[in-house]
Amino acid sequence: MPWALNVPLLPDESLSSWLVRTALRQGCDPLALTGAIWPKWRIWTRDIDREIPDVRMSPLVNASGIPSSEFQKSALRYDCERIAGYSLPETRTWPWLLALGTRNRTHHGGQQFCPLCFMEDSAPYLRRQWRFAWHTGCSVHGVQLVDDCPACTAPIEPHRLIAEDVHIAQCGRCKYDLRKTICTALSLEELAFQKMADSILKQDIATVGENSVAVAEWFSIAVFFLGVVRRASRRPESAFADALGSLGIPITASMMPLSGLAFELLPASERRELLVAVKHLLSIDLEETVETFINADVKATALHDQRKPPPIALLPMIALLSDSPSVTHCHRTPPSHHPKTERAVRASWARLKRRMKAEPPS
């Protein structure tokens, strides 16, 4: 049976946002609404922004009166597959899509928002683009995106709202009005990678140096450079880090995310700093980069994990570097009971905090 109240999808609205808004508009809990549409499918234990599979579509189309093509357009699968360049399996983390870290109905992170967009919306809603890992700011308002509740630090979990909550711009845990979040201005430099990636995703082709590359290839080059920056920041005192420094990319230990987590699991603050460096690296002529690495005797093994083949467009550059490992093989020492380094302790602490955000101690 169709619902009494129609709730249209708003421009660039994510599927989870629309489902939650629809529930609140009908005066019911999101969980009750989705339970009524799909009695045997627990949608909040998955990342529903990715897609609504075809086999689950008809009860939703019947109840909402919205054609399935609209829901497909709002789903993230199409864009994510253009970025990845291959068909994405349901169960894995998708490249460049923030991971929700779903465990039962609890999320560990992965949802961002702009307080000023919420403020200006007549009906606040979540944008699809806030789920992309290269989005760390709002280009309309020039402020940083926020990825947790400023009052209680919980991740943003709109599906935990209840009928009485009325609108989506509030914390699912402590009910803080997210529109009141104090904003931090964003520099043009911090927005540069985001703008570039957005415009490349709109086209079919990108350029790296003199070469035209496909969208997926461009994103894989960006992933490669992200790896380069992360590897160099593990050793900020090395010749490798100095070489990047001489290219105008100062490498500091603080750029290395403490947790060592995959990029798609990092908080916005850590992604932002890495992307500034990657954008800079992308804007330098490849030949200049290689020459600097050769002069500093940076080996190919220092640049990337040898088990993962580099993007094809970068192969000529990497071939010019010496492949021999920069240090002679050191013998693997068995696990010892030495005290952990400060970095290792802080890394486990950062990972623990991400888990605790999702499940605060009772």
Which residues form the interface with Zn ion (CB under 5 A)?
Answer: 114, 116-117, 138, 140-141, 149, 151-152, 154, 171, 173-174, 176
CB atoms within 10 A of CB 98: 27
Question: Which of 42/180 has CB closer to Zn ion?
Answer: 180
In whole angstroms, how close is the CB of 30 to Zn ion at the nearest point? Answer: 17
122, burial (CB in 10 Å: exposed 0-12, middle 13-18, buried 19+): exposed
Structure tokens at 279: 């954008």
In whole angstroms, how close is the CB of 126 to Zn ion at the nearest point? Answer: 12
Query: What is the H or E stretch that residue 32 is in?
Result: helix 30-37
Nearest to 288 by CA among 246, 234, 337: 246
In whole angstroms, how close is the CB of 137 to Zn ion at the nearest point? Answer: 9
Question: Which of 160/173 has CB closer to Zn ion?
Answer: 173
Question: Which of 117/126 has CB closer to Zn ion?
Answer: 117
| DSSP string of 203-243, one letter each residue | SSEEEETTEEEEHHHHHHHHHHHHHHHHHHHH-TTSHHHHH
| φ, ψ (nearest 5 deg) of residue 71 | -70, -35
Question: Which of 138/223 has CB closer to Zn ion?
Answer: 138
In whole angstroms, how close is the CB of 134 to Zn ion at the nearest point? Answer: 16
Question: Which of 117/223 has CB closer to Zn ion?
Answer: 117
In whole angstroms, how close is the CB of 294 to Zn ion at the nearest point? Answer: 44
